[in-house]
């Protein structure tokens, strides 16, 4: 389950940023996670409470901003939602596309106190 290593990476970021701000803990953490990022949200939430125990995130509220994948077809310029990376255009069936969103995996916001 790589969600535990993702949680540990997020904790590392939060601890560095909290230290930079000369604060002691995080009140709110907001993550941005795309549907193509390869993260199982249920698994991340499952390991979260154990991973953040005795860290600056122990009492922080976790908010996840989920981004459904979207792409723009390079053939017909249709913007369409994607479930999987290899999905084709919903209008012309082309596989040539620019992914507009859905690969995100980042800390969007930290509120420290």
pTM of the full structure? 0.88
Domain ranges in the chain are: 3-68+102-112
For 95, other C-beta atoms within 10 Å of its C-beta total: 11
Sign of CA dihedral 8, 13, 18, 19: positive
Rounded distance between C-alpha atoms, residue 108 and residue 113, angstroms:
17
**Both structure tokens of 102:** 């859905």
Residues found in the chain: 113
β-pairing, 79-81 vs 105-112, is unpaired
- pLDDT digit string (tens) for 22-68? 999 999 999 999 999 999 999 999 999 999 999 999 999 999 999 99
- pLDDT digit string (tens) for 74-96? 999 999 999 999 999 999 999 99
- pLDDT digit string (tens) for 13-28? 999 999 999 999 999 9
CATH topology of domain 3-68+102-112: hypothetical protein PF0899 fold (3.30.2320)
């Amino acid at each position: 389950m790589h969600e535990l290593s993702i949680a540990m990476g997020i904790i590392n970021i939060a601890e560095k940023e909290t230290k930079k701000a000369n604060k002691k803990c995080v009140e709110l953490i907001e993550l941005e996670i795309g549907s193509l990022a390869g993260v199982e949200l249920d698994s991340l939430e499952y390991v979260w409470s154990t991973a953040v125990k005795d860290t600056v995130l122990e009492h922080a509220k976790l908010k996840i901003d989920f981004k459904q994948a979207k792409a723009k077809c390079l053939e017909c310029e249709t913007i369409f939602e994607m479930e999987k990376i290899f999905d084709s255009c919903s209008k012309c069936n082309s596989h040539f596309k620019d992914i507009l969103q859905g690969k995100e995996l980042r800390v969007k916001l930290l509120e420290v106190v």
